[in-house]
Amino acid sequence: MPGQSTIPLLIKAMRPRQWIKNLLLLAGLFFSRQFFHAESVLRALAAFALFCAASGAIYLFNDLLDAPRDRLNPRKRQRPIASGQLAGGTALTASVALMAGALAGSYALSVPFGMCTTAYLMMMVGYCLTLKNVFLIDALVIAMGFVIRAIAGVIALRTPQQQVPLTVWFVVCIIFLALFLALCKRRCELVRLDDDAVKFRPVLACYSTALLDQLVALCATGAVLSYTLYATNLHDPWMMLSTLPFVIYGVFRYLHLVYTMGNGDAPEEVLTRDWPLLGCVLLWLLSVGLVFMTHG
């Protein structure tokens, strides 16, 4: 049993700030219009908590493997494992326990949701071990992590009495948006680290800013177009299309932050610290919520 001083270090190493990504599991609750259904809310919150445990376990495992390289990075050397504050054995034990707990809880919620958690953990363990060093696959795996979250959030709501549909264009939009964020992250790392980029992340040797610029533009376009197609496939497309300007502004604002301000290597920090972008997201949520409530 870890001492009290170890627990805060474990929590820090699990990177609670990154758990904002798991809010995507609540998207199914929102877009299926189940946010006033008590059982659905509880199932969505349970799914969110289970993925926080699963992703926290992956961060512990990843930092344990990357500790020697992290010690060379001015920003990452202060992480609990890299700095030596948290013992490697303790981190590994906690990681395995969290994975086991997340899997047990997920299968208890439902077998299909448990399969989503299993797929997420297997993919991310593979990423930590080798896939993060494979050109393009590294970005695709990060993006697929978001896609699994989105799909799992819908599947978590399904019960024998309630079958929540999964919209194709919703999934396609998540794919492009996740790739957009992942590629922006790679571009910022490549530019910010400059000559040291390869030392801290070897796969960056395969990338160039010119290639990343093209891929980012492609994914930004795909995200906007797929959201437009998602909106036009709903019962009241004209009302839903009224939310499109918020999506366009959000994508453009993020591009500004990446290309002009040099941000984007930590998407969760960009979202929570840039007030115009955060305001845009909140207004988008409000507008979509109003459309759902008035045109259900």
Tokens encoding 66:
């990357």
Q: Dihedral, CA atoms, 130, 132, 135, 136, nearest 10 degrees?
A: 130
Greatest Cα-to-Cα distance within the chain, rounded to the nearest angstrom: 58
pLDDT range class, residue 2, cuts 50, 70, 90: very low
Q: Which residue has the tokens 């979202």?
A: 271
Above 60 in pLDDT, residue 58? yes
Q: Which has the closest alpha carbon to 127: 75, 194, 86, 182?
A: 182
**Is the CATH code 1.10.357.140 the one for domain 1-166?**
yes
Whether 174 contacts 147, CB under 8 Å:
yes
Contact at 8 Å (CB) between 156 and 113?
yes
User: Are the C-beta atoms of residues 156 and 110 closer than 8 Å to each other?
Assistant: yes
The pLDDT of 56-73, averaged and rounded, is 86
pLDDT, tens digit (0-9, with 9 covering 90-100), for 165-197: 888 888 899 999 999 999 998 888 888 766 665
Residue ranges of alpha helices (H) inside the chain are 6-13, 27-31, 38-70, 88-109, 111-129, 137-155, 168-193, 197-200, 209-232, 237-241, 244-259, 267-273, 275-294
- Residue 220: partners with Cβ closer than 8 Å, 6 or more residues away: 176, 180, 251, 255
Residue 2 in tokens:
């870890």
Angle at 45 between CA 40 and CA 51, to 5 degrees: 125
Per-residue pLDDT band at 198 (split at 50, 70, 90): low
* Segment 205-213 mean pLDDT: 90
Share of the chain above pLDDT 70, in %: 95
Helix and strand element counts for the chain (H, E)? 13, 0
**CA pair distance 212, 230, nearest whole angstrom:** 26
Give the whole-angstrom CA distance, residue 15 versus residue 271. Answer: 16
**If you average pLDDT over residues 203-220, what whole number do you get?**
92
pLDDT of residue 193: 65
- Mean pLDDT within 119-130: 95
Summarize pLDDT for 245-287 with one digit per residue, the tens: 999 999 999 999 999 887 777 777 788 888 999 999 999 999 9
Q: What is the pLDDT of residue 200?
A: 67
User: Across residues 114-123, what is the average pLDDT?
Assistant: 97
Beta bridge mates, 162: 159
Single out the residue of 175, 220, 183 nearest to residue 204, CA to CA.
Answer: 183
Helix (H, G, I), strand (E, B) or coil at 110: coil
Mean pLDDT to the nearest integer, 139-154 = 93
Output the pTM of the full model. Answer: 0.88
Q: What per-residue confidence (pLDDT) applies to 199?
A: 65
Phi, psi of 210, deg, nearest 5: -65, -45
**Pairwise CA distance, residues 163 & 190, whole Å:** 44
Percent of the chain with pLDDT over 90: 52
